[in-house]
Chain A
Amino acid sequence: MKAAIFTPCTYHGPSEGQGWPTSARVYSDEAAAETFETALAQARLADEVGFDWVTVAEHHFAPFCITPNPMVLAGALTQAVKQAKIALLGADIPILNPIRVAEEFAMLDAMSGGRVVAGMLRGTPNEYITYNINPAESRGRFEEALQLIKMAWTEPEPFGWQGRYYQYKTISIWPRPVQKPHPPIYMSGSSPESGEFAAKNRVGLGFAVTTLPLASKASRHYRNEAEKAGWTPTGEEIIYRVGCHVADTDDEAMEDLGASFRGRSPALSLALTRRTDEVIAGAGYYGRDEDQRGRVARAVQGDIPSRIENGQILLGSPETVARQIRHIHAETGAGVLDLIPMQGDKALKSIELIGTKVMPLVRELN
């Protein structure tokens, strides 16, 4: 089992409302600066205590995650983090220029000595509004962009691309990725279509904002489809992202969590208005998995014990959390845990305990 620390860069300064996009009428430069400092400090510590990866994500127009271009933060991480891999989960490739994405990943790989993990996601539905991309084209754009990015990384001679969504007359990226043939690729895989595509294209799969039964079902589907395509994913090909807080004892961990939630909503401020969500759903964004829609909203409901049981949070002493990790591993086969630290000053101690006390108990799982 490998451990990743996810630095969501949640801005904790003043802001107005939970809607999306969020108004910046009330905004603090200092709070934003502190957010980035905190993220870098957590990543540095995680690296020192033996975490295998640090991860960053892409979200737009909201304080929940202030890394609209995770490549920029990853650039800083190449210098701050000495051993751990730097995972971008991801770049939301359907809304971006895929050549730019290929170039940025290659730069990061060159700057980090080959430590980049290239997550490529479709993003949450609202991301399509961000850059004015039709959400009905999401899957088609994703599949084409992924193939184009791989081609840009691996093709040594200049070439052009006459795609359905992307057209370029000539491409020859510099620098080149250090990892050969290219950095490991992951995609988000909760829907059956995603699992099938990932299996067919031999890329890893990540689960986030999910429940254990959903991830377990999706992981089985992915592995079955991979068998059909003639390969067997290892544990490292499956990432499970989950909130995690570890303290010396179970009681202390529970108290920390309660204190962290007071006066602050734990909900993700990614909710669109109902009307917009309906329009995006009607455009065919969600594919054929009915579980998908409203998954984000449902996943943050429920009391703490049921959320632990559902694999939505890891909480307790090192021994307790190791037991919870074994359960997730048994259910999903995940070999990489992408852990979201709790907000507040107790996070650093938790990161240290995960690295020094929890991981030695679960490292042999694969």
Chain B
Amino acid sequence: MSVMTREAADEAPFGFREGRIEADGFDIRVLEKGSGEPLVFFHTARGIRLTPAHARLAETRRVIALEAPGFGCSPVNARTRDLPELARTMMAAASALGLQRFDLMGHSFGAKQALWAAIQDPEAVRALVLIAPSAIRPEDWRPPTVQEGVEPEIGRKQAALVDRLFGPPVDDELERRMGEIACPVLALFGTRDELIPTQFARRYKQLAPKANVMFVYDASHSITEDRPEASASLIEDFLGEPEGFLVNRTSGALSD
């Protein structure tokens, strides 16, 4: 365990505990809360930002957010060459935490990582949740060089790493392999996402036919910040019964 900095303490709201894990030669920060079935979270290009949705999910399961090497206060990561490799490092971290088979949730940049993780390590991923995935982006899309709401120095470091690892806006290799994903998939898209147009959602359905593509109304790219209850309840529903997700089991009957 490293000494917890004041910044690090501020970055772990909602009572998440901070820890560290050695994996693949990296010292990786871990934020964790709750007990029950494990749900591993891969963050966006802006680093770990916990939301009330994460807190709500932690009420019914063990939520584990892993900080990718080179993000947050961790040293510059010059070693990782691409996203498939970063995904392997992250899965090694989960394994080092003793997790054999777990649910995996990724947001934006983290969702692309999670797709690679599910493709490379199908045994480990029970179900996959993609939040505003940015695996398929407009052709002229460039990651923002200034990261809003992030300390400037960290933001510059993260933006440079994202730019180097993200891969092309249309990633033929990933798209070719998405059909291999056999686990249940839930993909959430905000109806007012300013980065990923809603028309991009259908590509996930075409590439991974078993995916449940859902629009979260009135949410931007930051779906779990904009509509924490709406997104967390949906994710709970899905993870509770991934194969029977489409069926409504809530009773509309008045009680006696």
Contact = CB atoms under 8 A, between A and B. Distances in A.
Same complex: yes
Contact of B213 (A148, A160, A164, A166): A160
Contacts of A237: none
A79 interface: no
B246 interface: yes
Contacts of B245: 169
A159 B205 CA distance: 9
A170 B212 contact: yes
B215 interface: yes
B213 A162 contact: no
Contacts of A148: 217
A161 B213 contact: no
B159 interface: no
* Chain A contact residues, majority secondary structure: mixed
B216 interface: yes
A162 B213 CA distance: 11
Interface in A158-202: 158-164, 166, 169-170
Contact of A160 (B206, B212, B218): B212
Given A157-B205, A158-B205, A159-B205, A151 B215 contact: yes
A166 B191 CA distance: 14
Interface residues of A, number: 17
A144 B201 CA distance: 19
Nearest to B219: A162
A155 interface: yes
Contact of A157 (B188, B206, B230, B234): B206
Contact of B216 (A156, A162, A170): A162
B214 A160 contact: yes
Nearest to B206: A157
Contact of B188 (A155, A156, A162): A162
Nearest to A154: B199
A155 B202 contact: yes
A147 interface: yes
Nearest to A155: B202
B220 interface: no
A162 B202 contact: no
B202 A157 contact: yes
B231 interface: yes
A161 B215 contact: yes
B255 interface: no
Given A169-B246, A169-B248, A170-B246, A162 B205 contact: no
Given A144-B217, A151-B215, A170-B246, A162 B231 contact: yes
Interface in B215-256: 215-218, 227, 230-231, 234, 245-248
Interface string B194-215: 0000100110011000001111
A159 B218 CA distance: 16
Nearest to A151: B215
A157 B214 contact: no
Nearest to B192: A147
A134 B63 CA distance: 37
Contacts of A159: 201-202, 205, 213-215
A158 B234 contact: no
B206 A162 contact: no
Contacts of B217: 144, 147-148, 161-164, 166
B246 A162 contact: no
A234 B215 CA distance: 32
Contacts of B188: 162
Contacts of B206: 157
A144 B246 CA distance: 21
Nearest to A159: B213
Contacts of B214: 159-162, 169
A102 to B, nearest CB: 14
A265 B231 CA distance: 53
B234 A162 contact: yes
B212 A169 contact: yes
A161 B214 CA distance: 5
A351 B246 CA distance: 51
Given A162-B234, A163-B217, A147 B212 contact: no
A148 B205 CA distance: 18
B121 to A, nearest CB: 27
Interface string A296-339: 00000000000000000000000000000000000000000000
A249 to B, nearest CB: 56
Contacts of A158: 205, 213
Given A157-B213, A158-B213, A164 B201 contact: no
Contacts of B230: 162, 164
Nearest to A161: B215
7 contacts: A158-B205, A159-B215, A162-B217, A162-B230, A166-B217, A169-B247, A170-B246
Q: Which 7 A-B pairs have the closest CB atoms?
A: A160-B214, A157-B205, A163-B217, A157-B202, A169-B246, A162-B216, A159-B213
